[in-house]
Chain A
Amino acid sequence: MAQSTPPARSPARLAAATVLLVIAIAGTLVVPIYARATPKLGAFPFFYWYQLIAVPVIAILAWISYLLLRTRPAPAPDPANGEGASS
């Protein structure tokens, strides 16, 4: 039953996904980066437009991570079956 792990991912993919997610979290966690009024975008002070733009940027980073970590449908269906019943 130990065989039911999904197909192995390469360490490089895992590392890349980790870096992307850390950037995504740090981008809004480190407040001094964006606690300022300028440069403005239209009428929006930096503090406001930075956080609004961060949303789609982080969605894209998360989506790339999803693609990197995506588990493909397991080739052999049988190993997974033993799992649930054995607990």
Chain B
Amino acid sequence: MSNVNSVSFTVVLVLFLIVTVVGFAASRWRPAEDLLSLHQWGLGGRGFGSFISWFLLGGDIYTAYTFIAVPALVYATGAAGFYALSYSIMVFPIVFIFAPRLWSVARAHNWITPADFIRGRYGSRGLGLAVAATGILATMPYIALQLIGIESVLIVLGVNSSSSNAFVKDLPLIIAFIILAGYTYLAGLRAPAMIAFIKDTLVYVTIIVAVLYIPTRLGGWDHIFGAASAHMKAINPTTGKPNGSFIEEPAGEWAYATLALGSALALFMYPHVITGLLSTKRRDVIRRNLAALPAYTLVLGIIALFGYMALATPAVNAGVKAHGDNTQLSVPLLFQHLFPSWFAGIGYSAIIIGALVPAAIMSIAAANLFSRNIYKEFIRPNASAAEETHVARLASLVMKAGALVFALELSKTFSINLQLLGGLWILQTFPAILVGLYTRWFHRWALVIGWAAAMIWGTIEAWRTPGGSQKHFGTSSAPILGHVIYIGFAALVLNFAVSVVLTLIFRAIRLPAGNDETEPANYTYDPASEADAPVPAAAATQAP
């Protein structure tokens, strides 16, 4: 620990302790009479109003990985990394249209997960299982990436590079995660909801100071953009091509647009985002929040520009090289070199706590899926509400332990590949969930086969795509039918094509379509007039 900056480290430690106390205290916040039911532990009793939901959803969507990976991508490739801004601009109008319908139908039936909806809507346990499994599969590497975000801060802070023993080396990360697992187990969704408030305060303070202060240290925005432009145009000696592009080239426009749109459509399918949406108290709260959430997008845009600030700082470039071209370190290194130690500590804490909030929500969402749609559906159909909740709490621990193993044991590149695949996979639940909110036209088995075809084709295509120094899983886009486009988006088109053709066939041969539990009025259900009344009796779920 010889090279640890004690001032930065102390700031990080104190803020982490505060968050720990708040996390455990959350279990006493608005205590529920029946904490032993899944909608209490896993959805915070569906009681979050506008104020809390705004922080919770922000914590969901803008994760530590965003704060690390987006500027890293801009640092490495230039304009292409800005797709993240374009994507999060598109998210809100898209989610704005669909989310209230999902909220209403889930509220009317007391459904907790997207797979609950699919099972009820299509009367298909198989399709429900496909959606649940995809959700869990896509969430696990996402949690692991939060850990990698924390790790990159710890590397710059100097706390995990001092020992050759792998366990001692990663001890700070392991301790942080055990504490996180503890309060998530106890308080459920209430813990990240309370911590999100602290997280965002730190993030906003860091960003505002950075955007005002860093350019003055680097000779103004002219110099920052000038350095970036020169670097992107320069020819990379190993590849013989320019380092990147400063303004998106026409050749990259399809990839840029499909990646942004595909990611925006996928976001709403992620279990943790749906958990955040369903935890809101009223239908109106969702739309009001989605209209106000773009404040975070502006922050994301500034964070993306951190990539260029890092590029304009010679000490950061030297640091990235010294760590084996690990571009993920560019933002923590930027803080280290341009901020005074104590403020760098604030910035590091914003990233670390920014990882804990989404990691908690993701593990809760995946645990809900496992307990409700796999354990209760296939293993113990007679499980009581208390048993279901108990299993979910245990599953959240398993999920985090799994993510920890992912982050520590697998190579970093592999985790990032998995995350790329996770986005591709989760996007394939779009036809079932989203179209299902409007029409029952698709046949359940057509959706299952379309999903499977897209999962298999997309995974193979991603595996076959080289990029950078990798032979497989090189980038998220590949040349398909004459344009370089996002593989997940191409797979979605295939998914739709297969589902449409097979639906026509299955309807022609009159294959049973399954029972639909929902009614048209469910999709606009809005118990606003009984806003403070409890959730419609938990008994309502037992019906099917």
Contact = CB atoms under 8 A, between A and B. Distances in A.
Nearest to A40: B225
Contacts of B519: 1-2
Q: How large is the interface on A (under 10, 10 to 19, 20 to 34, 35 or more residues)?
A: 35 or more
Contacts of A30: 257
B541 to A, nearest CB: 8
A28 B520 CA distance: 33
Contact of A5 (B96, B290, B524, B540): B524
7 contacts: A2-B519, A43-B225, A45-B225, A48-B305, A62-B92, A84-B107, A87-B517
Interface string B220-238: 1110110000000000000
Given A6-B528, A51-B85, A87-B517, 17 more contacts: A2-B521, A4-B526, A28-B90, A29-B90, A35-B248, A35-B249, A43-B220, A47-B82, A55-B85, A62-B291, A65-B96, A69-B287, A74-B528, A80-B529, A80-B530, A84-B109, A84-B110
Contact of B86 (A28, A63, A80, A85): A28
B247 A47 contact: yes
Nearest to B296: A55
Nearest to B226: A43
A69 B221 CA distance: 41
Contact of B301 (A3, A51, A84): A51
A24 B86 CA distance: 11
B512 interface: no
A3 to B, nearest CB: 8
- Residue from A2, A5, A76 with most neighbouring chain B CB atoms (10 Å): A5
Contacts of A6: 524, 526, 528
A54 interface: yes
A62 B224 contact: no
Contacts, number: 164
Q: Tell me which of B96, B249, B256, B524 has the highest count of chain A C-beta atoms within 10 A of its own C-beta.
A: B96
Contacts of A24: 89-90, 92-93
A70 interface: yes
Given A44-B225, A45-B246, A51-B85, A71 B291 contact: no
Given A35-B248, A43-B222, A58-B89, A71 B526 contact: yes
Contacts of B305: 48
Contacts of A62: 92-93, 96, 290-291, 294
B250 A84 contact: no
Contacts of A85: 536-537, 539-540
B543 interface: yes
B454 interface: no
Contact of A45 (B94, B247, B249, B260): B247
Contact of B283 (A45, A71, A75, A87): A71
A73 B257 contact: no
B108 A83 contact: yes
Given A32-B250, A43-B225, A83-B522, A55 B298 contact: yes
A5 to B, nearest CB: 5
A73 B292 contact: no
Given A55-B297, A83-B522, A87-B540, A35 B247 contact: yes
B387 interface: no
Interface in B105-120: 107-110
A28 B258 CA distance: 11
A12 interface: no
Given A51-B301, A87-B109, A81 B530 contact: yes
Contacts of A81: 530
Contact of A43 (B221, B250, B536): B221
Contacts of B291: 59, 62-63, 65-66
Contacts of A52: 85, 298, 301
Given A28-B89, A29-B90, A4 B248 contact: no
Contacts of B260: 28-29
B284 interface: yes
Nearest to B517: A87
Nearest to A30: B257
Interface in A3-23: 3-6, 21
A62 B97 CA distance: 10
A76 to B, nearest CB: 8
Contacts of B530: 77, 80-81
A6 B517 CA distance: 21
B457 interface: no
B203 interface: no
B92 A58 contact: yes
A35 B221 contact: no
A70 B526 contact: no
B295 interface: yes
B70 to A, nearest CB: 13
B299 to A, nearest CB: 9
A31 B484 CA distance: 14
